[in-house]
Chain A
């Protein structure tokens, strides 16, 4: 029985879970089968390691395969050069080189503001002329990076890192100074996410060891307070704009989805039972609307909802088919608003690194597929630029042009390679109105 899994489930689910484990444990491998398969595997191992042919035969075959491979690569590269990279969208007109766009980006006329990238355990900011990234954590003090979030004024970046099981929160400024700890070696456990209050004075976080509470603290590290949720939190808690409640992706004993919990009364409200990912909800820049994506498995559709939070009215902005494969539906993620609150972007796909990016106008005038085989979209402060990751590189797309080709910004920072963990995220520092 995997006690780690059991311990991470809420108490009311542990009974059913332990019964499931017990049922699974009754399934035994027959000794005869175990022996037969062992024998077969070892026979195969011997065959696999024996040279099947003379060296000259193998050499000739290798030369043949190599020639074929070179031919295929040349053909493929010719085909790729003749196609437009990534762009599948807006119009059918011929793309034009983005020379002026690139120049504008480099001198800072376009795509202003710092762009943060998290890759594996490294966090970096774009350099001044946006020709590359500068790693913030050269000394590797941050540890296991879990989350990052720009302050509402776009001037400070909060970073969650964990070292040997203790959670740390760091702040750095938009010029890329060394991250300074505001919560160091805390006893809260392994910290997962960080979020800012709208006034930029408080931070919200939670830990893997106790996912039924959230922690709120001042940005100078003082005033740490614990708030019980009475339910399980799975990811990405955010303050409501008035900072009196939080919303998060989680589950109680009977249902799962997107919830709101008041920090004063601990009163709980389910916002949607069909939200299925921790990066599928986002507040509008003016704080009046909450956008989220519902995955309706019965109707096999994804719905982008805009919820006038105080008024309680909801509008379905867009729907997309979520065609089922043999056993899953695609995920949507990275939902965010344009800084002027007129549009939303998100990505959708089955693979974490191979998705399509969509843009939806809030006035209901359309849903546009901006790019394929990409992920991690984020919009610049001026709303002109979309940044995304494709094939370990970061690209910028000029949203003011319908014929633009993507501009290669830089390779992802190499960072530290992590065996079983991936955090590929882009986030543009954007100032929002207080």
Chain B
């Protein structure tokens, strides 16, 4: 069965909504959705928790819940918005139950072979500062930034997750970026050469 999950090209041109319909009866279709959105969900949780172990745990919970509830996805909105809605609820439950937040740990310990050590260190510093600064933004601005920049949702999709209009999301992003620049001026304004 696991080999099915590795077959990424069976539905190359099918959109998410149709795949989700197929996924009710075809594991291959669910596998394709999993491959398409795993990184978005993982980055979302890692940006919030700053902790790889918890991010992996929440990512597992998110996809398990998505599989359990795939029959309830009606195709009336983008699948990614539906999936990130589940991720958001899992995160909220996590923070209700685990008040303690731990700093960013081994997210960057997976080596990038082509990257010089000093650049990798700079990246680590940059990410540490950004994730640290995100925790000090108002939560809806941080959430909008994470959905759009870490999970790469469109403004419309992020609006569906947040229950806000596209324009309101743009405003949250604009204000969030301004706040973030203030808090991480060195990192966000200076180019690494």
A residues near B, CB below 8 A? 1-2, 4-5, 8-10, 13, 15-17, 19-24, 26-30, 33-35, 37-46, 48-49, 232, 234-236, 249, 251, 254-256, 276-278, 297, 324, 326-329, 331, 350-352, 417, 419-421
Contacts and interface: CB of A to CB of B under 8 A. Distances in A.
23 contacts: A2-B154, A13-B174, A19-B126, A22-B123, A26-B108, A26-B123, A26-B127, A27-B43, A27-B46, A28-B107, A34-B38, A42-B1, A45-B30, A45-B67, A48-B68, A234-B167, A234-B171, A256-B174, A278-B167, A324-B139, A417-B76, A419-B76, A419-B78
Contact of B174 (A4, A21, A232, A417): A232
Interface in B57-104: 59-60, 63-64, 67-68, 75-78, 81, 92, 95-96
B64 A39 contact: no
A256 B77 contact: no
A392 to B, nearest CB: 13
Contact of B67 (A48, A255, A331): A48
Contact of A256 (B110, B130, B178, B188): B178
A256 B152 contact: no
A254 B160 CA distance: 27
Contact of A327 (B25, B46, B139, B154): B139
Nearest to B60: A37
Given A5-B155, A24-B43, A278 B67 contact: no
A20 B177 CA distance: 9
Contacts of A276: 168, 171
A276 B189 CA distance: 26
Given A37-B63, A48-B67, A328-B162, 15 more contacts: A9-B174, A23-B130, A24-B152, A38-B31, A38-B34, A42-B27, A249-B171, A277-B168, A278-B165, A278-B167, A331-B165, A331-B168, A352-B163, A420-B77, A420-B78
Contact of A326 (B63, B95, B148): B95
B19 interface: no
Contact of B77 (A4, A44, A329, A419): A419
Closest 8 CB pairs of A and B: A327-B139, A235-B167, A38-B5, A328-B140, A42-B1, A251-B174, A24-B150, A16-B188
B13 interface: no
Interface in B162-183: 162-165, 167-168, 170-171, 173-175, 177-178, 180-181
B4 interface: yes
B144 to A, nearest CB: 10
Interface string B32-71: 0010001100110011000010001001100110011000
B140 A329 contact: yes
Given A37-B60, A42-B2, A419 B110 contact: no
A73 to B, nearest CB: 19
B171 A8 contact: no
B143 A328 contact: yes
Contacts of A19: 126, 187-188
A297 B59 CA distance: 31
Contacts of A26: 107-108, 112, 123, 127
Contacts, number: 183
Interface residues of B, number: 74
A234 B145 CA distance: 17
Contacts of B43: 24, 27
Contacts of B10: none
B149 to A, nearest CB: 4
Contact of A41 (B34, B52, B152, B163): B34
Contacts of A249: 167, 171
Nearest to B170: A234
B149 A17 contact: yes
A277 B163 CA distance: 13
A419 B17 contact: yes
B167 A326 contact: no
Contact of B171 (A45, A251, A324): A251
B59 A23 contact: no
B123 A23 contact: yes
B117 interface: no
B177 A40 contact: no
A255 B1 CA distance: 53
Contacts of A234: 167, 170-171, 174
A24 B81 CA distance: 19
B156 interface: yes
B130 A20 contact: yes
A350 B156 CA distance: 17
A27 to B, nearest CB: 5
Contacts of A417: 76
A16 B148 contact: no
A21 B1 contact: no
A20 B144 CA distance: 13
A41 B1 CA distance: 10
A30 B60 contact: no
Residue from the set A8, A48, A249, A420 with the largest chain B CB neighbour count within 10 Å? A420
B101 to A, nearest CB: 14
A382 B39 CA distance: 55
Nearest to A330: B163
Contacts of B123: 22-23, 26
B181 A277 contact: no
A249 B171 CA distance: 9
Contacts of A39: 2, 5
